[in-house]
């Protein structure tokens, strides 16, 4: 394998060949048990630093980890008011990356509506958090595959129970 091939296969950031291929699929980015409403988590997937968090309504977000105001890392923030609040000046971002509160602005200000952090679509299935990091319409979420695995286990279990029942 030459250097070019190695680079092509191992670089996964935005705009790279392997990265764009992987971004066409839902990817497991964490376990449900890893995040709580108290503790956001910095993660790195496909060469991108991201913040994984759960808001007080139980929704999961995977967003750009730095505040659009002064670049403060949002993992120092706390979860409240429908999102994560930056520890510096209190801007709040929801799980879709939208800025939903700016305490320093007048109540009539609509400036927050212009502020959005990059956010990826997330699904939580079977204790696993899946993210779609690509553009456009995502493919079907792996719930089908996961359900099939679960169903196969249940079918196996049912068949085992039946066999025991029949033989006794």
> Does 70 interact with ligand FES (rule: CB under 6 A)?
yes
Question: Quick check: 69 binds ligand FES (CB under 6 A)?
Answer: yes
Beta-bridge partners for 115: none
Q: Which is nearer to ligand FES, 62 or 67 (CB)?
A: 67
Q: Which of 43, 67, 84, 99 touches ligand FES (CB under 6 A)?
A: 67
**Candidate ranges 51-59, 64-72, 141-149, 156-164; the one touching ligand FES (CB under 6 A):** 64-72
Compute CA distances 168 → 109, 141, 164, whole Å.
74, 42, 6
Of 23-31, 56-64, 67-75, 141-149, which part binds ligand FES (CB under 6 A)? 67-75
Angle, alpha carbons 23-29-32 (nearest 5°): 145
Please answer whether residues 74 and 51 qualify as being in contact, where contact means their C-beta atoms are separated by less than 8 angstroms: yes
Q: What angle do CA 75, 77, 79 make, to 5 degrees?
A: 110
Query: Whole-angstrom Cα distance, residue 132 to residue 116?
Result: 18
Contact flag: residue 53 with ligand FES (CB under 6 A)? no
Q: Which is nearer to ligand FES, 107 or 164 (CB)?
A: 107
| Burial status of residue 5 (CB atoms within 10 A of its CB: 0-12, 13-18, 19 or more) | exposed
| Options 82, 88, 98, 128; binder of ligand FES; rule CB under 6 A | 88
Residue 53: CB minimum distance to ligand FES, A: 15
Question: If binding is defined by CB under 6 A, does position 52 make contact with ligand FES?
Answer: no
Site residues for ligand FES per CB under 6 A:
67, 69-70, 72, 86, 88-91
């Amino acid at each position: 394998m030459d250097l070019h091939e190695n680079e092509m296969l191992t670089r996964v950031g935005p705009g790279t060949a392997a990265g764009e291929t992987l971004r066409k699929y839902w990817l497991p980015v964490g376990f449900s048990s890893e995040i709580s409403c108290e503790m956001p988590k910095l993660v790195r997937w496909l060469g991108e630093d991201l913040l994984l968090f759960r808001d007080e309504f139980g929704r999961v977000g995977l967003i750009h980890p730095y505040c659009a105001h002064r670049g403060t890392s949002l993992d120092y923030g706390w979860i409240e008011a429908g999102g994560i609040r930056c520890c510096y000046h209190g801007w709040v971002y929801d799980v879709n990356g939208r800025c939903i509160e700016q305490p320093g602005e007048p109540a009539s200000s609509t400036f927050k509506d212009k502020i959005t952090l990059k956010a990826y679509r997330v699904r939580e299935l079977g204790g696993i958090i899946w993210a779609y990091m690509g553009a456009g319409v995502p493919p079907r979420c792996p719930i089908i595959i996961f359900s099939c695995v679960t169903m196969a286990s249940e079918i196996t279990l049912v068949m085992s129970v039946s066999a025991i029942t029949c033989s006794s």
